[in-house]
Amino acid sequence: MAEEKLQRLEIVTPQKKTYSQDIRFVVLPGTEGELGVLPEHAPLVSALKTGLARVHHEGKVLKIAVSGGFAEIRNNKVTVLANAAEREDQIDVERAQAAKERAEQRLSAGGQDIDVIRAEAALKRALNRLKAAGQ
Ligand code: ATP
């Protein structure tokens, strides 16, 4: 069998390196829509929204919750600089559930004192983490 072409995927945040592997295929949550990247992709920079990265590696699909950032594709390497990123097995489900409830309460309480955009962004991050964790 011919050897599969691979590409390097690095997902880093200001705190840590979340993922670093040679992989076959990744789908990233681009602000303009899902961005599927195969090896030998043309150079590209794209903004990312809060969403799931789906990494196809060794016959499995790994979900990684990405909380916005940027992706750079160059020389067969995909670098994701994310505000935060957690692999599905790293997600603290109770924490995400609590963050979801906090954000929902803020949004439903309304009033002048709440920052709606901030609460909506926190809710999106929490829902995305729950989705990555299969909840
Ligand atoms: P919280 O209100 O629970 O802190 P948040 O969305 O405000 O959630 P972030 O500011 O996006 O949190 O992330 C801060 C750090 O905590 C990052 O390193 C992120 O990876 C980590 N983190 C946040 N929520 C979770 C979670 N549910 N499970 C694991 N790590 C998490």
- pLDDT tens-place string over residues 50-83: 999 999 999 999 999 999 999 999 999 999 999 9
Spatial neighbors of 9 by CB under 8 A, at least 6 apart, are 19, 20, 21, 22, 23, 26, 55, 77, 78, 80
Q: 96 with 77, same domain?
A: no
Range of the domain at 113: 92-132
Q: 12 with 78, same domain?
A: yes
Ligand 1 center to 96 CA (angstroms): 8
**Protein residue with least CA distance to atom 29, ligand 1:** 91
Q: 58 with 99, same domain?
A: no
Q: 82 with 97, same domain?
A: no
Q: 13 with 77, same domain?
A: yes
- Give the count of domains, the chain: 2
Q: 97 with 74, same domain?
A: no
pTM over 0.85: yes
Ligand 1 center to 83 CA (angstroms): 10
